[in-house]
Amino acid sequence: MDRRRLILRLLFPTAIIVLLAWTPAHADDVGANKSELIRRLLATIVNISVRKYEVASSVSTSNDAGGTTPAADAGRTIKSYAGSGFVIDPSGLIMTNYHVVEDAFEITVMLSDGALLPGKMSSASRLADVAIVKVVTDHPLTAAHWGNSDSLQVGDQVFAAGNPFGLGLSVSAGIVSALNRDIQDSPYDDFIQTDAAINHGNSGGPLFDMQGNVVGVNSAIFSPSRGSAGVGFAIPSSTARFVFEQLRSYGWVRPGWIGVKIQRVTREIAAGMGLPHPDGSIVSWVLPEGPGKKAGLAIGDVILRCDGRTPTDDRALLRNIAHTPAGTTMTLSVLRDGSELSVPVTVEAWPRDQWDVRDAPTPVFRPKVQSPPDLGLSLSELDTEAKANSGLGNDLSGVLVKSVAAYSDPALRGMASGDVILRVQDKPVAAPDDVLAGITAARTRRRDFVLMLVLPKVRDVPGPKWIALRLGSAGD
């Protein structure tokens, strides 16, 4: 089986804790320390729910919660997903994975106290799979603290927190299973592998060290099924923090660039070059007028060290270059024709137009949502046959939904042909004019939403449900 097929993106978070006591302690003391550490950190973790348009060929589709979502038109459906995130700035900046909020037309953030806030993706890096979501609050939020992922060692205890399978905030514990994992997600891969339980919905949640610092962002799992197999991956905090600071400062990653293409020296390449060991990264292309060309780098050069340090592999070298600020001169130790040379290279910022091609967020499909007087609902009276089909008793009245305009707010909120409207606000309705009167009355009162008690045609559970429909000026 293709290994890449087993790497699964997560749309749900998780985490818990194991505390390592370096001095003798009673079991009760260790448990209390763990509980206190978790309690302090829970305020920094958020659940993220999103809604996205997805191309589909059927009228309805199963969503991750096990229900169905009516199609907004013949070619698109609206699906809901759940993910995780954590507060990284008290002003209301939330970090999560880009794939959690990618293509989302609606983002809702639930804080640890249960407050629901609308979110907006302020900036993102598609390549790094990092996004910053902004929420507006009337008070500063409790922010998590960055840890040093570079100091992690295999065997260190860690714990993850998030929203696995949309169940709500959960915590799980484990150890660092491996470092610098390449899951072929990008040329810069440097994932932390952990056996802390990570499942769908954990995406974007934090991986903490035992001091409560964020050392990673949970992002993917390796599994033959949809569940955790004990092989989870997190973006190291060193990468996540760099991306966050760049996005906050510039709106894009603005990586360092020297205008060369490199690849790892394999045993075969080393043998072909007559080298005794497969060390370093070989230059396979040098862009004309780029910093590398100006510094004298040439095709076939083997880069052994960067500023005196030996990168672990070609991915580490690329990360070193990307994290180097523009204008900084780095010294590359280069093997050429059997001799080692020192080549000073002045790093430049990656040309923005070229970087955006590979890294800028994809445009979100945002149709113009109409808000006519009827909110895009085509209605009719509920005749005897329709009432019988709906399961309503003879003593109840309602109004039949004949159709719902594509991309209207009722369509976005799941209303569909065959639904029955029983009440608008606190008043029962028996005719289409009653529904329109209720909408008009809510608008007159300058309400942002109008409540409708709706009996869905397709019901996961018996009975009607309240739906809040967004109001706007007629003709918006």
Indicate which residues carry an active-site annotation.
99, 129, 203
Query: Which tokens hold the place of 158?
Result: 């860690």
Specify whether the CB–CB gap between 208 and 15 falls below 8 A: yes
Q: What does the DSSP 8-state code read for residue 202? A: -
443, 427 contact by CB (below 8 A): no
Give the H/E segment covering residue 120: strand 116-125
CA distance 472 to 310: 61
Compute φ and ψ for 114, nearest 5 degrees: 95, -5
Smallest CA-to-CA distance from 222 within 5, 1, 7 is with 7
Structure tokens at 67: 């229900």
- Angle, CA of 165, 166 and 171, to the nearest 5°: 75
Q: Which two tokens stand for residue 279?
A: 């060390």
Nearest in space to 358 (alpha carbons), one of 402, 300, 318: 318
Burial of 324 (0-12, 13-18, 19+ CB in 10 A): buried
Using CA atoms, how far apart are residues 71 and 410, in angstroms rounded to an integer? 12
Tell me which long-range contacts 177-184 makes (C-beta under 8 A, separation of at least 24). 177/231, 178/154, 179/152, 179/153, 179/154, 180/312, 180/313, 180/315, 180/316, 181/233, 182/315, 183/7, 183/220, 183/222, 183/233, 184/3, 184/4, 184/7
Amino acid identity of 69? T
Q: Which helix (H) or strand (E) holds 31?
A: helix 27-42
Radius of gyration of the CA atoms of the chain, in A: 27
What is the spatial distance between Cα 177 and Cα 160, in angstroms, rounded to a whole number? 14
List the structure tokens of 254: 């603005």
Q: How far is Cα 354 from Cα 97, in angstroms, rounded to an integer?
A: 23
Question: Backbone dihedral region of 306: left (phi > 0), alpha (psi from -120 to 50 degrees) or beta?
Answer: beta
With tokens 């020192």, the residue in question is 342
- Helix, strand or coil, per DSSP, at residue 212: coil
Alpha helices in 165-296 (DSSP H): 237-250, 267-273, 291-295
